[in-house]
Structure 1
Amino acid sequence: MANPCKELIFAIKAGDHPKVTEILDSGLQVATPEHFLLATQEKDYATLKLFLSHGWDINTDIDSLVPSALVYAFEDVELLDWFLDHGADPNKESRIRDCTPLSYAVMEAPFNIVKYLFENGGQLKRGQLLHYAAMRRKDDCSEVLQFIYNEDPDYNELQINKLLDEGTSHCLMNYRSGLGTPLHYAASSGSVDMVSFLLDKGAAHRLDPYHRSPIGYAVYYGHYEVEQVLKARMTLGAGSA
């Protein structure tokens, strides 16, 4: 077996389960997150089961930012159910920040999948969900953001003006990587509805670590309507002070 890592890739792509078994049985530590991810993307349940039967942890990180292969199961309910039935954790934190599979879901998965994950163990107070919902770019972004906020308004009121990672063990490591508040992310998305909702809930015009404001984000990304909404609210706030 000249290169068992490559052999395993070829076997997974070919759906050659005897070969996959042979390699995993060899005792060589060749299996990697990339192999398990490939089997996930191929929706090869037999290979996935072989990995688990050989001791693979279904919640293994894919890389430093992606907490597990569950993130790649959101577009297929059958695959998602398989993962959940085999112990996949929607609240598993990534290696370098408080970001979970549910964080990825609120950012980019279909809305029904977001709700489904909440019904299957997803926790609001893990994964900075308000921030990731504000990063959403789909047409239903405002609806998802409001859903997340309304799951626990008291808790989210405390999160709404925090920078991403603020108050977590990862904050110092990630501080200079462009961290923002939910309002920064909503402004960069161009969603007037998301920005207006956050402002109505008490979002403030806080600066990020590079001293950029939500208005600055809106200007940079060319979102004129968002820029005007933010400026109008600032003027209103100054006038009522």
Structure 2
Amino acid sequence: MEVQPPPKEAPIPPSRYPRIPTRTPVKILEEMSDLCVNGDIKKFREVFESRLSIYDPDNFDIRDFWSVMVEAITQDNAQFIIELFRHGLEMKELYASQAVKAKAKNALQAFLQHGWDINQPMSEVKPPVLGNAVEDDDMVPWLLDHGADPNRQSAIDLTPLSYAVECAPISVIELMLARGGDVRKDQLLHHAIDRQSENIEVLKLLIGKGAAINTTMYQDHYASWRLYYFMGLGTVLHRASELGKVDLVRYLVGEGVDPSITDANGRTALECAAMLNQREVVQELQKGEQLMSS
């Protein structure tokens, strides 16, 4: 089958997306969003108390007001958020994600007052909202101060601290470790291998705090292992070798990582590197074996 190239036209902007059908008249939803932008809470309440009361169930559904909630979050105006909750709009993790993105601390405070669990995972495979904030050194301490747990998992062994180790500034990682982050969990060394920069600095930090370097990924988390074992899960040395990160391989060998450990497919890191034609890694691992045998 011939594969067609992507179109040259620019992608359709969100403003031109087809509108999701709603029971509530679009005009009302747009009016309510405009009231959020203008900060007119008095008129906002009047619309709910009077004009909306004339609509029958076939022409009104509070769930349609999710877009109004997003606008209220963007404006970081807790009054509108509280009013939406009062009229029955349910809390969704989407709102927490939007609030972190918008740095909307008033909105987050309103969610907490409404009973939102700050440590509720975003989905089965995504950790709580602290994971969305790890690159923001302003939001991370705020969330920690309000009860966010850096070690809270989703259904798999993935936590906010996992995300931080992979992409956050070192200062944020240090803060999360100081606030209860556990280096024995969350596959942290494996995530450190996937960083775009400062890999060795983060590895040193974690190993210095007691992270084990010879564990295979998810070996202590059966649900995660069952889901991902087909990928040939191995040690951090396997991961660094597969990615061709010679400097990390050299560092790990120097730290005493065991090169004889095999992955879920029964291969050593050297065998994985050779299979992927990572020649420099192969040479580095062979040097390490020679030093160990001498």
Task: Tell me if TM exceeds 0.5.
Answer: yes
- RMSD of equivalent CA atoms: 2.5
* CA distance, structure 2, for counterparts of residue 121 and residue 222 of structure 1: 41
Amino acid at match of 1:106: V
Q: Which has the higher contact order (CA 8 A, sep 6+)?
A: 1
Contact (CA 8 Å) 1:74, 1:105: kept in 2 or not?
yes
**Which of 114, 128, 142 pairs up with 2:187?**
128
Q: Secondary structure at the match of 1:175?
A: helix
123-132 or 227-236: which moved more?
227-236
Post-superposition shift, 1:190? 3.4
Q: Describe the SS at the equivalent of 1:95.
A: coil
**Matched-pair contact (CA < 8 Å) for 1:136–1:189:** no
- Could you tell me whether the CA contact under 8 Å between 1:162 and 1:181 is conserved in 2? yes
Unmatched tracts of structure 2, length 5 or more? 1-23, 25-60
Which amino acid is the alignment partner of residue 163 of structure 1?
A: T
Distance 1:189 1:24 in 2: 48
2:288 counterpart (210, 226, 233):
233
Map 1:84-233 to 2 at 5 A: 84-97=144-157, 99-138=158-197, 140-152=198-210, 156=211, 159-170=212-223, 171-200=225-254, 201-215=256-270, 217-218=272-273, 223-233=278-288
Distance 1:209 1:160 in 2: 17
Kept in 2, the 8 Å contact 1:134–1:183? The answer is no
Distance 1:160 1:166 in 2: 13
Q: CA separation in 2, counterparts of 1:233 and 1:184?
A: 14
Counterpart in 2 of 1:42? 102
Cα distance in 1 for residues equivalent to 2:213 and 2:146 = 34
Alpha-carbon separation, structure 1, partners of 2:135 and 2:145: 17
| CA deviation after TM superposition for structure 1 residue 96, in Å | 1.7
The alpha-carbon distance between structure 1 residues 168 and 19, as it changes in their structure 2 partners (threshold 3 A), is: same
Say if 1:66 and 1:222 are closer, same or farther in 2 by CA, change over 3 A: farther
Q: Summarize the Cα distance change of 1:203–1:137 in structure 2 as closer, same or farther, 3 Å threshold.
A: farther
1:176 aligned counterpart, secondary structure: helix
Q: Cα deviation per residue 1:66-94 (whole Å; 9 max; x = unaligned)?
A: 21111222233221111011001111122
Which residue identity is paired with 2:132? Answer: Y
Distance, in Å, in 1 between the alignment partners of 2:143 and 2:277 is: 40
TM-score (norm: length of structure 1): 0.83
The worse-fitting range, judged by mean Cα deviation, of 14-23 and 212-221 is 212-221
Any idea what SS the aligned residue of 1:70 has? helix
Return the letter of the residue paired with 2:103.
K
Partner secondary structure for residue 127 of structure 1: coil
Q: 1:161·1:181 contact (CA, 8 Å) conserved in 2?
A: yes
Higher mean Cα deviation, 83-92 or 220-229? Answer: 220-229
Q: Distance in 2 between matches of 1:216 and 1:109?
A: 32
2:82 to 21, 38, 44: 21
1:218 shift after superposition? 4.0
Alignment partner of 1:76 out of 132, 136, 140: 136
Unpaired runs of 5+ residues, structure 1, are none
* CA-CA distance at 1:224 after TM superposition: 3.8
How much identity, in percent, do the aligned residues show? 33
How far apart are 1:146 and its partner, in Å? Answer: 1.6
CA contact (8 A) 2:74 2:104 kept: no
The superposition leaves residues 165-200 of structure 1 with CA deviations (integer Å, 9 ceiling, x where unpaired) of 113232333322442211112223433232122223
